[in-house]
Amino acid sequence: MTDDDVDETGRALAERALELPELAHARTVAAYVSVGSEPGTRALLDALCARGVRVLLPALLPDNDLDWGEYAGSHSLARVQHRGKIALFEPPGARLGPDAVTGADVVLLPGLAVDARGMRLGRGGGSYDRVLARLEHAGAHPWLVVLLYDTEIVARVPAEAHDKPVHAVVTPSGVRRFPSA
């Protein structure tokens, strides 16, 4: 996809996501900045900020866990090259700690695919598995949403005993909810 295609898809994704009542009522949303060919998230991040939502973005730690910082607009992002990994855009300000995500009303998750059960396939680094375990351990129950392209909703992805379904997947063409989550 060209950069223009990713931007256009990101705008459509933002429109669909912003129609969700769960996002309309959220005070804090943990999100991420898309990279590479991932569906664009910047339009959504900016729209959430414009609504007065506190947006938390991850900062990758050396052990693949995630710390969190506040998003202050796309002008405030720092491109961070992690050794042996892809460069990520992270908030440059103060870090809030890995547990900051437990205060989110909604957590937007990256993924490669989601299946008909709502099971999410990640990139394999375990960062978001840790986030989901942290939420469960804290007794936090934010709404879990994966942002994908339409073609990334598949019949079945591999799942392990610790994997939990997400509440919804948002694609540029719509929203699919998973009642089993």
> Is 127 annotated as ligand-binding?
yes
> Is 124 annotated as ligand-binding?
yes
> Is 128 annotated as ligand-binding?
yes
> Is 125 annotated as ligand-binding?
yes
pTM of the predicted structure, to 2 decimals: 0.94
> Is 95 annotated as ligand-binding?
no
CA nearest to 103, candidates 53, 165, 172, 34: 53
**CATH architecture for segment(s) 3-177:** 3-Layer(aba) Sandwich (3.40)
> Is 23 annotated as ligand-binding?
no
For helices 42-50 and 3-18, angle between their N-to-C axes, nearest 10 degrees: 40
> Is 40 annotated as ligand-binding?
no
Q: How far apart are the first and last CA of the chain?
A: 32
Distance CA 106, CA 127 (A): 17
Local confidence pLDDT in tens for the 181 residues of the chain:
777 888 889 999 999 999 999 999 999 999 999 988 889 999 999 999 999 999 999 999 999 999 999 999 888 899 998 877 778 999 988 999 999 999 999 999 999 999 999 999 988 788 999 999 999 999 999 999 999 999 999 999 999 888 889 999 999 999 999 987 6
In this structure, which long-range contacts are made by residues 158-162, counting pairs with CB atoms below 8 Å and at least 24 apart in sequence? 158/121, 159/117, 159/119, 162/129, 162/133
Q: Sketch the domain layout of the chain as residue ranges.
A: 3-177
Please give the structure tokens belonging to residue 76: 């405030």
